[in-house]
Structure formats: C-alpha cells, structure tokens
Amino acid sequence: MAVGPRALEVAGLPRVGHLARAREWWEQEHVFGYGLILPALTLLICLVAYPFGMAIYFSLSDYWVGSPGKFVGLENFRAILGNEVFRQTVWNSFVFTAIAVTLKSVLGVWLALLLARNLRFKRLLRGAVLLPWVIPTALSTLAWWWMFDSLYSVVNWTAIRLGLINPPGPNWLGMSGYAMTAVITVNVWRGLPFFAITTLAGLVSIPREYYEAAEVDGASSWGRFFHVTLPLLKPVIAVVVLFSTIFTFSDFNIVYILTRGGPVNSTHLFATLAYQVGLNGGNLGQGAAISLFLFPMLAAVVFFQLRYIRRE
C-alpha cells in the first residue's frame, strides 16, 4: 500500500520532497561525472568541433564570401597543390618551424641552466625572462617591426656602431632571406621563456644526490650535463618541444604583423596564406583547404613525438 507524505509526517518520518530526490539523482556517480565534464564538452563542441566541421564543409565546396557555392569535392585541394605559392608556403613552414624550435630548444636549456644557479636577484631575473611570453603578441611584434624598419632600424644602427655591418645595413623586412631571419628571431624571442621556464621546472626536480655521485666518480661539468641532466630532462624537453612545434607551425600574428607573408611570399606560413586567400581574397573554399593541411602534418608530428615520450 502506498504511503503519502502526510502519513509520513504523522508517523514521525522525514518527508522526501522534490529537492531531495533531485539531489539524490544528481549525486549518483555517473550523473555527477557527466555533469562535471559537460561545460568542457560544450566548449569543445562550440569552439573546436563546430569550426572544424565548417572548415571541412568549406574546403569541399566552391564557397566564396557572400556566395554559398556548391559541392566540388577535392577540387580545392587539387587547385592549391598546383599553386606555386602554396608549395613555397609548405617549404617556408618547415624551415621556419625547424630552425625556430631548434634554437628555442638549445637556448631554452641553456637559459634554464643559468636560471637554476644561485644568482643575485634570481627571482627578478626569472620574472624578467617571462616578459616576452606575457606581453601581448601584437604589441611586442609592433615593437620589433619598428626595430627592423628600413629607415629607423635600431638593429642596423647598433650593428653599424659596433662595426659588424656596413651602412646603411640590410632591409630586414624587404629582402627574402633577411625577412625569414627576422620572423624566426621574433618567434624565438617570444617562445624562449615558455621553453626555459618549463625546462627549469624539470631541472629543479632532479635530486642533488645524482650530481654528488657523479662528482665522486670524477665527472666534469660537461659530463654531469650529458650523463645526468640531459637524460633526466629528456621527457620534459620532449613535451615542451611537442607544444613548441605546434605553436610555431601554426604561428600567425608574428608573420602577419611583420611581413604579411612577403616579400614575394618568402615568409608565408599556412595560417597567413589561408587568411590571405580565404578572408582577404574572399575564396573561403581554398582558404579552408589550406588551413586543413595543417591538421595531418601536426597530427603526424604529435603522433611521433607522443610515441617517443611514451617510450621514454
């Protein structure tokens, strides 16, 4: 026989209301777990999955700004593969990423070793090192654009005064080789703090006993670095290189502000070329196809680096 709420009160038993039942349902493990991941899942769907799906749709259609277009299959991909500018962009992207990540790796480990030493004003130095990473990219890149300016270049003025180059100095942003050097320099300057601070976190976690044992065995400073520090830092460095490769390969702000892909398309990366073709040129189909070429390349890089990290 069913017992109503009034009968429970008469019998002295607590009344089970809608709020209590809702709370009991919410506290179930499977309900509560899905509730916790729901906000993150919503953000991923709205900010990642939906734009990615739209990019795939655009890349498979003849889609222009203001014109929905029609389904064309892989025609956009065939068109950009036959484009000389796109092939130059592929080469630029790999050269840019390889040189920048290599320099950040070497200089980042060196800077982490320097910051790990007992220096005066160590905390102040660590804070100063983070400035390039903290300052907004557009603001800091505009300062570099002024430093590389053909008429008012601080870089040229300093190098001429030191006797390193002859006046008037190179046009950093107007000559192909110098322009790539300039964008790589700014990218390394901005990404170095991330690499150094993350490596420093792994460096300070190495037990001091390992270094003491190496000193007892007669190892020099270089021996301690190659046989103690570097092997124990390999997993940390591999993770940082993974993230740095992704950030560098998909860079947009630095290249677009400094050179906009010029001169003569010598500094175009995937992101800048996709922006130029898709938004400035209005051809959203080919712009989306160019941007989607980033996905398989980055996926391959992530796959091999994660295999290495898992093995380590």
Task: Give me the amino acid identity at 170.
Answer: P
115 located within any domain = yes
Q: Which helix (H) or strand (E) holds 215?
A: helix 208-216
Q: Quote the CA–CA distance of 107 and 112 in Å, as a whole number.
A: 8
Residues 25 and 145 in one domain: no
Residues 141 and 175 in one domain: yes
Residues 133 and 46 in one domain: no
Q: Quote the CA–CA distance of 301 and 295 in Å, as a whole number.
A: 10
Tens place of pLDDT for every residue, the chain, 312 residues? 444 455 445 544 455 567 777 777 777 777 777 888 888 888 888 888 888 888 888 888 888 877 777 888 888 888 888 889 999 999 999 999 999 999 999 999 998 888 888 777 777 887 788 888 888 888 888 889 988 887 778 888 888 888 888 887 888 888 888 899 999 999 999 999 989 888 888 888 888 888 888 888 887 888 888 888 888 888 888 888 888 888 888 888 999 999 988 888 889 998 899 999 888 888 888 888 888 887 887 788 778 877 877 776
The pLDDT of residue 177: 83
Orientation of helix 230-249 relative to helix 294-311, angle to 10°: 170
Residues 29 and 92 in one domain: no
Residues 146 and 282 in one domain: yes
34-68: b (≥16 Cβ within 10 Å) or e? eeeeeeeeeeeeeeeeeeeeebeebbbbbbbeeee
Residues 119 and 206 in one domain: yes
Residues 227 and 123 in one domain: yes
How many residues does the structure list for the chain? 312
Residues 33 and 128 in one domain: no
The pLDDT of residue 103: 94
Residues 30 and 84 in one domain: no
Residues 32 and 147 in one domain: no
13 located within any domain = no
237 located within any domain = yes
- pLDDT tens for 234-260 read 888 888 888 888 888 888 899 999 998
Residues 82 and 213 in one domain: yes
Residue showing tokens 């989306």: 288
110-129: b (≥16 Cβ within 10 Å) or e? ebbbebeeeeeeeeeeeeeb
Query: What angle is formed at CA 117 by the lines to CA 113 and CA 122, rounded to 5 degrees?
Result: 110
pTM: 0.81
CB 169 within 8 A of CB 151: no
What's the N-to-C CA distance of the chain in angstroms? 65
| Closest-CA residue to 289 (of 93, 68, 83, 47) | 83
Residues 101 and 46 in one domain: no
Domain end residue (candidates: 33, 59, 85) = 59
Number of domains comprising the chain = 2
- pLDDT tens for 172-230 read 888 888 899 999 999 999 999 989 888 888 888 888 888 888 888 887 888 888 888 88
Structure tokens at 255: 């290249």
User: Which range marks the domain in which residue 291 is found?
Assistant: 75-311
Rg for the chain (alpha carbons), in Å? 28
CATH number at 291 reads 1.10.3720.10
Q: What is the dihedral of CA 302, 303, 308, 309, to 10 degrees?
A: 60
The pLDDT of residue 164: 82
Domain end residue (candidates: 6, 32, 59) = 59
